[in-house]
Amino acid sequence: MSYQKPRILNDYRDLLWSLLPLVLIAVVFAGLASQCSFAAKGPTQGQIPHFDVTAALTADARTLPFPIRNPSLPAGWTPNSGSRDTITSNGGGPVSTVGYLTPQGTYMRLSQSSATEESLSRFVLGSRYAGGAEQVGDQKWIVYTEPGEETAWIADLGRSRVLVTGAGNEAAFRILAAAVAAAEPLKR
């Protein structure tokens, strides 16, 4: 006959001895499934996905009802993503978005739309409000800032609005803003 302690006499050591086999089994299964690894090094940058920004923006220029620009950026700016969306609220419209990694490794996003500045800012930025302006060349950019959030710049280019946001520094914003403003609309 086996002896079993009354439950009232169980303590944290009994709990620890009960959980230890379960934790070991979970670690073994995670290791077998290659879902965890142990390394002394810190995080390393993975491979940047290939994204053909020229093909994507050319396709958008053919199908969207507003001018699309493909900025010519300096060496080291790597396109890595793109998407299309639609702002359905009042003053909305289609949105073409592409993303870039700067030479410093920060992500910058360029969104182009026929939506109003207010609709575009609410769609991408949420409840942030304009807090200033920047002049880059001949183009005025409205700056949206909020503590703890990414900065965003929006410019009105006539038949389209352009929004630049990301984790880059002011130089990255100026480079992307100048390249967008200097770019001619792509042919339809």
CATH code of residue 73: 3.40.1000
Cβ–Cβ contacts within 10 Å for residue 87, how many?
A: 19
Picking from 106, 105, 115, 51, the residue whose alpha carbon sits closest to that of residue 83 is 51
Please state, in angstroms and rounded to a whole number, the distance separating the CA atoms of residues 139 and 178: 8
Residue 46 lies in a domain: no
- At position 38, the amino acid (one-letter code) is F
Q: Would you say residue 86 lies in a domain?
A: yes
The type of residue at 20 is L
Tokens of 86: 């639609």
Percentage of the chain modeled with pLDDT above 90: 65
Asked, for residue 84, whether it belongs to a domain, the answer is yes
Alpha carbon distance, N-terminus to C-terminus of the chain: 87
Residue 45 lies in a domain: no
Q: Is residue 171 part of a domain?
A: yes
* Tens-digit pLDDT profile for residues 76-119: 999 999 999 999 999 999 999 999 999 999 999 999 999 999 99
Say how far apart CA 45 and CA 110 lie, in whole Å: 22
pLDDT at 2 over 80: no
Alpha-carbon span 116 to 156, nearest angstrom: 9
Count up the domains in the chain and report the number.
Answer: 1
pLDDT at 43: 58
Q: What is the pLDDT of residues 25-67, one digit of tens each?
A: 888 887 777 655 656 665 566 777 789 999 999 999 999 999 9
Q: What is the span of the domain harbouring residue 115?
A: 53-182
Q: Contact at 8 Å (CB) between 92 and 115?
A: yes
Q: Please report whether residue 142 resides in a domain.
A: yes
Residue of 106, 143, 140 whose CA lies nearest to 128: 143
Residue 48 in any domain: the answer is no
> With contact defined as beta carbons under 8 Å apart, do 79 and 97 qualify?
no
What does DSSP say about strands 151-156 and 78-86: parallel, antiparallel, or unpaired?
unpaired
| pLDDT average, residue stretch 70-79 | 95
